[in-house]
Amino acid sequence: MDAIATPLIIGSNVQSRPASFEEIYREYADYVYTVAYGVVLHYDDAKEVAQEVFLKVYKNLSRFRYDASIKTWLYRIAINESLNYIKKHRNRQKVTMDLEQADGELAKPVSANADAGGNNSDVTMMLASLKPAYRACVVLRNIQGLSYQEIAEALNENINTVRTRLRRAREQLLQSFKAREV
């Protein structure tokens, strides 16, 4: 069954309204997974978070008002679900990461476009050292390429809060990098 997008007029803006949940899933599944992975830093956990995100989307799609982009709405849900997942599974996640390090297993790369020459375990370890709220900002800015305004909308935060979190995250990452060089 082919879904047809119908234009939706909001004020002077014309947006394309997805005709189905399936269309949204096909278009944004990789984005949602990448955001979730960037925050939870574990392949299976990110898959679980992504499933929860799309369950929420499915249940709430009829209430979406299209006053923001679907992508922003999905990022907001994905970040919130990821942060909630971390809070709920904090102890289990630490044990899992410790076991992976001990066994020498590496988590799957953050995205399919990850640099094959780079060491993803180093990036993952450095991201893991950040607070989840900082990590979410870094993922949205540096991996997903969102603007400060888009991050603020996705996280439902003030833009200055986003700037502060990114600055602090960068400072912590720089310290971690310098410590690894020694």
pLDDT tens-digit map of 3-35: 444 333 333 333 445 558 899 999 999 999 999
Domains, the chain: 6-181 (1.20.140.160)
pLDDT > 70 fraction of the chain, expressed in percent and rounded? 73
* Most confident of the ranges 25-29, 112-116, 142-146: 25-29
For tokens 């047809």, name the residue: 4
Confidence (pLDDT) at 92: 55
CA–CA separation, 85 vs 43, rounded Å? 13
- Rounded-to-10 torsion of CA 74, 75, 76, 79: 120
* pLDDT band with cut points at 50, 70 and 90 for residue 182: low
- Say which amino acid occupies 54: F
Q: Residue-wise over 114-151: b if at least 16 C-beta within 10 A, else e?
A: eeeeeebeebbbbbbebebbbbbbbbbbebbebeeebb
**Statement: residue 123 has pLDDT above 90:** no
Lowest-confidence segment of 79-93, 127-141, 159-173 by average pLDDT: 79-93
Across the range 45-58, mean pLDDT stands at: 95
* pLDDT band with cut points at 50, 70 and 90 for residue 144: confident
Confidence (pLDDT) at 168: 96
Q: In sequence order, what E strands does the chain have?
A: 6-10, 13-17
CA–CA separation, 110 vs 42, rounded Å? 9
**Residue 58: which residues within 8 A CB-CB, separation 6 or more?**
21
Identify which has the larger pLDDT, 62 or 50: 50
Q: Per residue in 152-169, pLDDT tens? A: 988 889 999 999 999 999
Confidence (pLDDT) at 104: 41
Q: What is the DSSP string of 82-100?
A: HHHHHHHTHHHHHHHHHHH
Helix or strand or coil: residue 104?
coil
Across the range 80-85, mean pLDDT stands at: 93
For 55, list phi and psi in degrees, rounded to 5. -65, -45
**pTM passes above 0.85:** no
Q: What angle do CA 165, 168, 169 make, to 5 degrees?
A: 80
Confidence (pLDDT) at 49: 96
